[in-house]
Amino acid sequence: MSDDATMMVDGIAVTRIPMLSDNYAWLLREAASGVVAIIDPAEAAPAEAVIEAQGGRLDLVLLTHHHDDHIAGAVALAARYGAKLVGHQADAARLPVLDVAMRPGDTLAFGDAQIRMIESSGHTVGHVTYVIGERIAAVGDTLFSLGCGRMFEGTPVQFYASLQRIAALPSDTLLLCGHEYTKGNVGFALSVEPENAALRARAAEIEALRARGAATLPVRLGDELATNPFLRARNAEEFGRLRAAKDRF
């Protein structure tokens, strides 16, 4: 979408922070209050560099799921800045010790905005999405551009329901995904819908972005609804077939 690491959405500054080989953590600052949150820090050091450059404040560390490549930097960051660790109460045993254990449907103040947790089991059971403000969704490894996470723990019924919850958000919602997997997802998506004009245009855009080393994320939900085969599946059974086919692709 953009070469800029930072973009503004409804008074919330969103900064993409590359981590490990292909992970992204996301830093969010609610401009009116200055409250800062980070999503899924796999590493502390790259996050600290950005946090320091933006004023040295961190209030919340939001965790989408228990995998190491989403939580490994969380405790060190929370300790350094006095931030609160936030995650799903039902998965607390697999997450760092939580300061704020939320359940799907719960909300948390984020300055003048709100953070709402929604259930996103499928990649793991207990995976959640955070809706920040009205038009930002941190989806972790539930949804990628043109793809979705591997189904390690959930069922097709669970995973499909989770994707439908995301699909029901406003179509201009900005999706903050956990990995830069987009280019690797193009081939499978085109094999499902070779004649999809929006998908072909997106494939060309992705090729151009990656050729100059730019990120393909974040992406708008509306663009994914037009191009992502897993969001376009009509039911859980079709989703399950697609997920199995992609595992073999």
Q: Which amino acid is it at 9?
A: V
Toward Zn ion, which CB reaches closer, 67 or 116? 67
Partner from Zn ion, Fe ion, none binding residue 180, C-beta < 5-8 Å depending on class? none
What is the closest distance, in whole angstroms, from the C-beta atom of residue 31 to Fe ion in the complex? 29
* Site map 107..136 versus Fe ion, x via CB under 5 A: ------------------------------
Toward Fe ion, which CB reaches closer, 39 or 86? 39
What is the closest distance, in whole angstroms, from the C-beta atom of residue 74 to Zn ion in the complex? 14
In 10-112, DSSP assigns E strands to 12-19, 23-30, 35-39, 60-62, 84-88, 100-102, 107-110
Ramachandran region of residue 192, left (φ > 0), alpha (ψ -120 to 50) or beta?
alpha
- CA–CA dist 14, 8 (Å, integer): 6
Toward Fe ion, which CB reaches closer, 133 or 178? 178
Report the alpha-carbon angle 125-154-189, nearest 5.
Answer: 120
What is the footprint of Fe ion within residues 65-104 (CB under 5 A)? 69
Per-residue tokens: 65: 């799921």
Interface with Zn ion (CB under 5 A), residue from 67, 116, 232, 246: 67
- CA–CA dist 170, 160 (Å, integer): 18
Toward Fe ion, which CB reaches closer, 69 or 91? 69
What is the closest distance, in whole angstroms, from the C-beta atom of residue 176 to Zn ion in the complex? 14
- CA–CA dist 230, 241 (Å, integer): 10
Per-residue tokens: 26: 């996301």
The catalytic residues are: 65, 67, 69-70, 123, 141, 179
DSSP secondary structure code for residue 146 in this structure: T
Toward Fe ion, which CB reaches closer, 22 or 99? 22
Which residue, judged by CB position, is nearest to Zn ion in the bound state? Answer: 67
* Site map 157..186 versus Fe ion, x via CB under 5 A: ---------------------x--------
Interface with Zn ion (CB under 5 A), residue from 141, 180, 223, 224: 141
In the chain, DSSP assigns E strands to 6-9, 12-19, 23-30, 35-39, 60-62, 84-88, 100-102, 107-110, 113-119, 128-132, 136-140, 143-144, 147-148, 174-177, 219-220
Interface with Fe ion (CB under 5 A), residue from 141, 180, 223, 224: 141
Return residues touching Zn ion (CB under 5 A): 67, 141
Return residues touching Fe ion (CB under 5 A): 69, 141, 178
